[in-house]
Amino acid sequence: MIAMLKTVNEKETKGLSTRLLSGSLSRLSLLSLKILVQQLYDRIKDSIASLEHIQYLKKKQQNYKLNEKTIDVPMTIFCHQNDRKRKVGRGSLRKSVWPVPRLEAIFLPEFSNNSRITEKDFLILNCIGKGTFGKIYRVCLKFDRNFLFAMKKQLKSEILTRNAIQQVKDEALVHKSLSDGVFIAKCYASWQSRTHLFTVLQYATGYGDLFMLWRDYGPFAEDTLRIYAAEIAFALDYIHRNNIAYRDLKMENIVLDLDGHILIIDFGFAKKLTNGERTRTVCGTLQYMAPEIAKGKFYGREVDWWSYGVLLHVLNTNSYPFPNRDVTSHIELRYDSYNTPCCEPMLVDLFNKLLSVNIERRIHTFAQVKSHPFFESVNWDDVALKKLVPFAHIEELQRCPSCNSLYDKSVSDFNTTDEEENWAAFEEEYEFNSDDYFHDELQ
């Protein structure tokens, strides 16, 4: 590429030089000669700048693999692009003046109004998801399409209408604080335009999410379940050690990389709980909701281990542990009639202890999970280093796309969609006070 650029620039420069010489010999006016000299100077300057930029990128290529599997990208690689002089689009806020307009200020500092990168640095490839306030796109850098990202684009007017300003700010803040986690999808940057909020996230280029894998290959055998259970537990422990309750663990919020390793996404319900703080906000996905959340009791980070138990139960048995498939509200949830599944005794014991309605008898810490006999064969150092390969077991199974189809009720008791307790459901059914909902009540 550099050689091609040199050839092109040499031809262009040579042409200008020839014209300059010819102009001199033809006794052109002094003004004409001055213009030609300036053009020659500008071309040389642009060529040097282009060569320096390409050399910079090639140097980066030596440190990072430029293929779809490499998603852990330093944002400076395209921040460098913005160091070059260019026109700022109308949607950019990098020329904001003081005082900052309210529509910008209310989203600061989580969403910068003076970002070195903007949406104009990316090329949208396709839409990969739709959220409450906007869509999520698969994107790449315009000047280097080997790097793939997920970009969340949220409409400010919709956020304001739903009174969810603090919710989206908290999500961005929490996600950024957790981005160094081994099994956490990285949050690279967030900024705002006059009309939208933008967040650039790590894009997982694997199978999709855990739900898709389970749908095509489930139920998971114990060896496969053990690997995924270990990675999810490791991720939850990292989240909890950062004093955060995740509150929405489910298959759809776990995506897979090329080797089948997990990445936790979507921190919309995550809550910072420090110094023993507890909350009693009702939120999450109904079928995964812990009893203390549904009953409006104060709770802490331990509720995530209940959801963890439900998740493992579904992956292994193709059914929820409790008869809550048709509920549409947390007040309808039932936590009785639990039937012990027919599986290996150690796994039965793990389910029973994770899904005990009595929290005093329930497993609710990572230390308790690690010490359970079901994980006796797991080397947790290998888990952290991603040495366990879940796809090694998955590939031995026969793909069966219809086995866990949500529309095949004969083999699955799942609804077409999981009912979720969020601000929209409350607004529609309960006419709740949005301030009370979004500003968790702490004791």
The binding site for ATP consists of 152
Which residues, in sequence order, are CB contacts of 147 under 8 Å at separation 6+? 66, 70, 71, 73, 77, 78, 140, 141
- Which segments of 131-204 are extended strands (E)? 134-141, 144-155, 187-192, 196-202
| Helical packing angle, 303-317 and 345-354, nearest 10° | 140
CA-derived radius of gyration, the chain: 27
Instruction: State the Cα–Cα distance between residues 283 and 296, nearest whole angstrom.
Output: 10
Determine the straight-line distance between the first and last CA of the chain, rounded to whole angstroms: 62
What's the residue count for the chain? 443
Active site residue 248: yes
Could you give phi then psi for residue 165, rounded to 5 degrees? -60, -50
- C-alpha distances out from residue 385 to 128, 228, 240, 264, 382, Å: 29, 14, 19, 16, 5
CA–CA separation, 268 and 278 (whole Å) = 18
Residue 318: CB atoms within 10 A of its CB come to 18
Runs of H (alpha helix) within 155-196: 156-161, 165-177
Nearby residues of 369 by Cβ (< 8 Å), 6 or more positions away: 233, 305, 308, 363, 375
Cβ proximity of 315 and 218 under 8 Å: yes
C-alpha span between 43 and 46 (Å, rounded): 5
Q: Which residues, at least 6 apart from 288, have a Cβ–Cβ distance to it below 8 Å?
A: 248, 249, 250, 306, 307, 310, 311, 418
DSSP state of 134: E
Annotated active-site residue in 170, 209, 216, 248: 248
Please list the active-site residues.
248
